[in-house]
Structure 1
Amino acid sequence: MEGSKMSEWTGERVLVTGGASFIGSHLVEDLVAAGADVRVADDFSSGEKVNLESVRDDVEIVSGNLKHWEFADEATKDVDTVFHLAADHGGRGYISSYPANCATNMALDNIVFETAALNGVDRITFASSACTYPTDIQQERRRLSEDMVSFDERGGAYADEVYGWAKLMGERSLQAYHEQYGIDASSVRIFTAYGPRENETHAIVALMAKAYAEQDPFRIWGDGEQTRNFTYVRDITRALRLASENITDATPVNAGISRYVTINEAAQAIFERLNWEPSEIEYMTDKPVGVRHRAADTTRAEELLGWEPQYTLEEGIENTLDWYVNNRDKAYVQENLETLLHER
């Protein structure tokens, strides 16, 4: 809990939507450790109850679809703080293939915000995304700062696919609820999170699955020189907590490392950790890869939250790969690899 005010959460009644998900379950663990009284709302479409195993006796779990008003109303009752992470999402292949699914996030976000407001919730922290940033400025190495998105200037927004537009509208909606209802609000733009419990539709775990299954030739989408700033999940959850503690006016902050990491570099680090190397790499240039380069300017997070990443890429990959190998049967991954890579 370094860097966080542990006492602030003691006895706080907290709802984590999507709390059985990859990021959500880590956040729930952090909040329980800090003394919060936590409720998890999840439809378990991608989240899993096993993710909450370590805190099962310490949290309330309610199962349902937050796009349904009655369930959202019930979930947000008697709560002080909401961390809103629930969303229909996946890796690049998923958001490219299922834009309509991703568009439903706009309804989901507004129902959660409205029911929270009507139930007198004090503060809401929204899990936003680096996909809110204009795509045309990400063809070269240029770190993304929060002021590169504007709701006040004509042409100030140009998000990444429908998923990015939905996240951007989520930010704007939350700002509106802050303005109208006086709710303390914050948005954290998450940059390429990875870690234990993430599924194989996301880049780092997809690479791990293919290497663990000893895929040869090893397939990499694109030419492998596209970059991301892979950010370890525990750094992300700390940013979410700090944003909730320190920001009240819906100001968005980035949570990501500033290092550009190519897909080829990430794959190589995984090969080394597994002590395995493919005889050939096949570059699949017909696959969706998204923007060319993406890394975060974290100046605002440092200034407003005192936040900067604590985990190196090497530490994060080691932790994640250890979890993956210990929790996945090799024969199963080999047999079901294509399904795992494309379904959330």
Structure 2
Amino acid sequence: MSEWVGERVLVTGGASFIGSHLTEDLVAAGADVRVVDDLSSGITENLAAVRDEIGLIEGNLKRWEVADRATENVDTVFHLAADHGGRGYISNYPANCATNMALDNIVFEAAAKNGVDRITFASSACTYPTDIQQERRRLREDMVSFDERGGAYADEVYGWAKLMGERSLKAYHEQYGIDASSVRIFTAYGPRENETHAIVALMAKAYARQDPFQIWGDGEQTRNFTYVKDITRALRLAAENIADATPVNAGISDYITINEVAESIFERLGWRPDSIDHLTDKPVGVRHRAADTSRAEDLLGWEPEYTLQEGIDNTLDWYVNNRDRTYVEENLETLLHER
């Protein structure tokens, strides 16, 4: 029997890309699921498959009364709600991302007040020091430290906010005894993701037949693109297996270039542009990023199950089936920059 049967679970940001997949997984495992979302980037259509089986609160978790109501009579909180987007968004809207620090602490405080047993926090690879990501060096959780001077050097305001979220959650564990875990998500992608993120942005450009095709940077920057169902499995396993706020990576250990992803998308669509423009003046973030997954394997028994090609095929099939090409063509610039 699944340990989630009958468990009262709150998913914050549950109408979002990752949150909606997690909600579906928890419903399938027998949990009694409630979602809270302000629908600033999430959409209720993402929850269509389980809408009749969950509770849904629409509201902003930076308001105490919303967080208090959402966390009442809940055993487990998966905290995914955040103001975020792809590289263009977090570079252009740092103040928006900074509000995540307030949001996280209000959710944690409300959960503590209402006697929640455990909290799993959706953290980010942006918590890692940027200076060690200019070369190919797999990121280990202990490369971030709260105990050493200079032990933290996060990626933009968004990364600092996620890092403070981890530290705040550990403080709530220490003071209130709440079981806690943080999952550092590495470049998630999959169906329902929006066009501000790298893989879906490339899909949108290819679907719109953009030519010359634009790639930010020289395209040789790497990421460890991790399929959404691998991410949601890691979140559930972290809740099940970690209680002391130990952070754990959820990512793949492969270095995949943006150019390689673009070529895979062209091949899947059966189309390729006549020329490619590499826009070296655009924000691209760190040069290389991939995860050391040793801790996830040891503590969770987790490793990725989806190959990049399987993930791209699933995601592109979803995109083509759910997006009108003319709409994408006419609104491409807005789609790429607004969450």
Residue matched to 1:308: 303
Aligned-residue identity in percent: 85
1:7: Cα distance to partner? Answer: 1.5
Q: Does the residue aligned with 2:181 lie in a helix, a strand or coil?
A: strand
Q: Does the residue aligned with 1:278 lie in a helix, a strand or coil?
A: coil
2:282 to 287, 312, 315: 287
2:153 to 155, 158, 164: 158
Q: Does the residue aligned with 1:219 lie in a helix, a strand or coil?
A: strand
2:54 to 59, 62, 76: 59
After superposition, where does 1:178-257 map in structure 2 within 5 Å? 178-257=173-252
Residue matched to 1:320: 315
Q: Distance in 2 between matches of 1:289 and 1:80?
A: 39
Q: Distance in 1 between matches of 2:252 and 2:309?
A: 13
Q: Distance in 2 between matches of 1:223 and 1:177?
A: 43
Q: Does the residue aligned with 2:48 lie in a helix, a strand or coil?
A: helix
Residue matched to 2:331: 336
Q: Distance in 1 between matches of 2:202 and 2:254?
A: 19
Residue matched to 1:3: none
**Residue identity in the other structure for 2:240:** E
Structure 1 residues not aligned, in runs of 5+: 1-5
Per-residue CA deviations over 1:299-328 (Å, capped at 9, x if unaligned) read 000000000000000000000000000000
**Residue identity in the other structure for 1:203:** A
2:8 to 2, 7, 13: 13
The answer to whether the aligner puts 1:270 opposite 2:261 as a matched pair is: no
After superposition, where does 1:56-95 map in structure 2 within 5 Å? 56-95=51-90
After superposition, where does 1:10-159 map in structure 2 within 5 Å? 10-159=5-154
**Residue identity in the other structure for 2:120:** T
Per-residue CA deviations over 1:47-70 (Å, capped at 9, x if unaligned) read 000000000000000000000001
Per-residue CA deviations over 1:137-170 (Å, capped at 9, x if unaligned) read 0000000000000000000000000000000000
Per-residue CA deviations over 1:209-229 (Å, capped at 9, x if unaligned) read 000000000000000000000
Residue matched to 1:174: 169
Per-residue CA deviations over 1:54-88 (Å, capped at 9, x if unaligned) read 00000000000000001100000000000000000
TM-score by length of 1: 0.98
Residue matched to 1:298: 293
Aligned residues: 339
Q: Distance in 2 between matches of 1:43 and 1:329?
A: 26
Q: Distance in 1 between matches of 2:5 and 2:84?
A: 32
**Residue identity in the other structure for 1:43:** D
Q: Does the residue aligned with 1:9 lie in a helix, a strand or coil?
A: coil
1:101: Cα distance to partner? Answer: 0.1
**Residue identity in the other structure for 1:252:** P
**Residue identity in the other structure for 2:115:** G
Per-residue CA deviations over 1:191-242 (Å, capped at 9, x if unaligned) read 0000000000000000000000000000000000000000000000000000
Q: Does the residue aligned with 2:266 lie in a helix, a strand or coil?
A: helix
Structure 2 residues not aligned, in runs of 5+: none
TM-score by length of 2: 1.00
CA RMSD of aligned residues (A): 0.4
Q: Distance in 2 between matches of 1:239 and 1:19?
A: 16
Q: Distance in 2 between matches of 1:72 and 1:243?
A: 23
Q: Distance in 1 between matches of 2:190 and 2:213?
A: 22
